[in-house]
Structure 1
Amino acid sequence: MMDIADTDLAPDPWFRALVVDDNPAFRALLCRQLARIGATVRDAGDASVFLSALHLTERPFDLAVIDIGLPGLQGDKIISWLRSSDDAHLRGLPIIVVSGGDTAGTEFAAAAPRVLFLQKPFRQERLVAAVNQLLRGGLAH
């Protein structure tokens, strides 16, 4: 897991983000925050919808935001699946892991490439810094 520094810089505009979080209020807030900094956002309330969206999209996503404490299929399992995918884009997809207190799986996230961790609640500046760090140098695809 990489450390992030606070920054006021916004990432390159018009990146595509896929968000999965089972808390509808937090998910909506996160989607608004990402949209404010230039993202086109698709969201999911559970892992199965998230995984379907990854496969059914016409244009690949540039970033995934994954709640580590999802019911059923935990976020660390999703990350493991992405990193072992046959699809090179999914293997390298930048990921922001979020958690509202349950830090189970953060050790896994720390060992995964192109993964940052944000503890809920976090300020938009921290989200911007994480997006900038993961997408620095251009979009993921």
Structure 2
Amino acid sequence: MRIASVEDDPDQAELIRQILSEAGFECESFANGADFLRALRERAYDLLLVDWQLPGTSGYELVSWVRQKSGNMPPILFVTSRTAESDIVDGLTVGADDYMLKPIRAGELIARVRSLLRRAYPEAAQEVELIRRGNYIVDTHARTITVGGEPALLSPREYELALFLFRNTGRLLAREVMEQAVWGRAMGAGSRTLDTHISRLRLKLALRPENGVRLTSVYSHGYRFEEASAADVEADEAGADA
């Protein structure tokens, strides 16, 4: 799914792009409404995220224009600091489908985006996504993970964490991003919740090079989940024999 984000604050724009990219979405950022409208002439987007306060054309005016020209599609989510009830009512009345207040929370943003996409594209939501890594198959429709053809017994939270890892293979994942994506909030420096769930996944899914993957802890940052190379398998076997 291709998502457009219109946000003039560079830090906020990068945060939105990072959160959505790590959740498996393609996100293109625009610093103002004019740049977005120029891009809209050449390509379509499945979802639009809009800040209210933008240079030049306001987010309110941008949403109004899109609705007049494009009808009910694509779904639109306001992401803004304007908290007054009248602003929320005006934003929804002009044509937005949902309204989210800053500061941005990764779990909430992903949940709202997925909810809007499910409602707007119900047929796509029913498509089965199969993720294959080594000896693993993740079936997102059935919410199951098999290892060498055998189903793994996971709790709902363990499944969500595993799915996040498999969708972000090869990326360095910050602890805060993982916690926001799975639990909807950052746990804090003293929490061991994430590490406990990671330990359970290592055992239940046998996350080892012999099964085609490698999960490593990155000091002071988070974790990296990646496909294992032949050298990784040899090193793991040598370590087991030592």
Same fold (TM > 0.5): yes
CA separation of 1:94 and 1:118: change in aligned 2, threshold 3 A: same
1:63-78 equivalences under 5 Å are 63-78=47-62
Q: Indicate the residue corresponding to 2:81 in structure 1.
A: 100
The answer to whether the Cα contact below 8 Å between 1:96 and 1:117 also exists between their aligned partners in 2 is yes
Question: Which of 50, 62, 80 does residue 36 from structure 2 map onto?
Answer: 50
When the two structures are aligned, how many residues end up with a matched partner? Answer: 121
RMSD across aligned positions (CA) = 2.1
Runs of 4+ off more than 4 Å: 102-105
Structure showing greater relative contact order (alpha-carbon pairs closer than 8 Å, 6 or more residues apart): 1
Percent of pairs with identical residues: 28
In the TM superposition, what is the alpha-carbon distance from 1:139 to its structure 2 partner? 5.2
Question: Which of 23, 26, 29 does residue 40 from structure 1 map onto?
Answer: 26
Q: Can you give the 5+ residue segments of structure 1 that lack an aligned partner in the other structure?
A: 1-14
Distance of 1:101 and 1:108 partners within structure 2: 11
Higher helix share: 2
1:1-141 equivalences under 5 Å are 15-57=1-43, 60-85=44-69, 87-88=70-71, 91-101=72-82, 103=84, 105-113=87-95, 115-136=97-118, 137-138=122-123
Distance of 1:55 and 1:65 partners within structure 2: 17
Bigger Rg, which one: 2
In the TM superposition, what is the alpha-carbon distance from 1:75 to its structure 2 partner? 0.4
CA separation of 1:47 and 1:76: change in aligned 2, threshold 3 A: same
Distance of 1:70 and 1:29 partners within structure 2: 17
- The normalised TM-score by structure 2 is 0.46
Distance of 2:42 and 2:20 partners within structure 1: 21
- The normalised TM-score by structure 1 is 0.76
